């Protein structure tokens, strides 16, 4: 399976949760990880040398608030966790949710708060561990998503997760 197909799209339930507020525009994604390159020249999708890890930046047309307090971001994180857990689009043929081990938390970004989600996503019989950062970019949702096979042991896994957790903005 190609690495670029590993990342799930936002669920309808998660999309419905997003409310309209304005924020300052965020910078474009810069991937400071050594050896990572854009996939097919697309600067919004990056992979490591071995293709074991994938990063994707997406800008969505839906409204997304800027959280000025940790409590506001935490409240959204809890709603997002619930929505991801009820993700109808992520169910398999037997009605089992393909998203599991869902954890969300607020993370600080330059004086505002973003939301970080982490979960396991099953696709085609393979489990992937996903880290997804939800950011406000001028009042619109922008996500930075990292993916690797669930038990991937390459160095890129921790580098990618640290980048999303601490540096992506």
In this predicted model, what pLDDT tens digit does every residue of 101-111 receive, in sequence order?
A: 999 999 999 88
Q: Could you tell me if 93 and 129 are in contact, meaning their C-beta atoms sit under 8 angstroms apart? A: no
Separation between Cα atoms, residue 104 and residue 97, nearest integer Å: 17
Compute the C-alpha angle 39/42/48, nearest 5°: 30
pTM: 0.78
In this predicted model, what pLDDT tens digit does every residue of 50-95 receive, in sequence order?
A: 999 999 999 999 999 999 999 999 999 999 999 998 865 555 555 5
Tokens of 133: 């950062």
User: Domain of 64: which CATH number?
Assistant: 3.40.1000.10
Mean pLDDT of 25-51: 80
Number of domains in the chain: 1
Structural domain boundaries enclosing 138: 3-167
Tell me phi and psi for residue 133, to 5 degrees: -100, 125
**Spacing of C-alpha 83 from chain mean position:** 14
Q: Which uninterrupted H or E stretch holds 45?
A: strand 42-47
Q: Is pLDDT above 90 for 32?
A: no
Three-state secondary-structure class, residue 70: helix
Q: Which uninterrupted H or E stretch holds 108?
A: strand 99-109
């Amino acid at each position: 399976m190609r690495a670029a197909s590993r990342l799930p799209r936002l669920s309808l339930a998660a999309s419905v949760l997003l409310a309209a507020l304005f924020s300052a525009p965020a910078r474009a994604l810069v991937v400071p990880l050594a050896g990572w390159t854009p996939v097919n020249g697309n600067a919004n999708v990056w992979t490591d040398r071995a293709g074991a890890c994938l990063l994707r930046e997406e800008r969505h047309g839906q409204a997304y608030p800027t959280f000025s307090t940790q409590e506001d971001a935490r409240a959204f994180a809890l709603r997002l966790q619930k929505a991801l857990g009820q993700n109808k689009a992520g169910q398999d043929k037997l009605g089992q949710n393909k998203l599991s081990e869902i954890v969300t938390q607020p993370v600080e970004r330059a004086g505002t708060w973003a939301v970080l989600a982490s979960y396991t996503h099953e696709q085609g019989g393979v489990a992937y561990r996903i880290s997804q950062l939800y950011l406000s970019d001028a009042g619109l949702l922008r996500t930075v998503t990292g993916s690797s096979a669930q038990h991937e042991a390459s160095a890129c896994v921790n580098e990618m997760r640290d980048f999303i957790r601490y540096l992506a903005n």
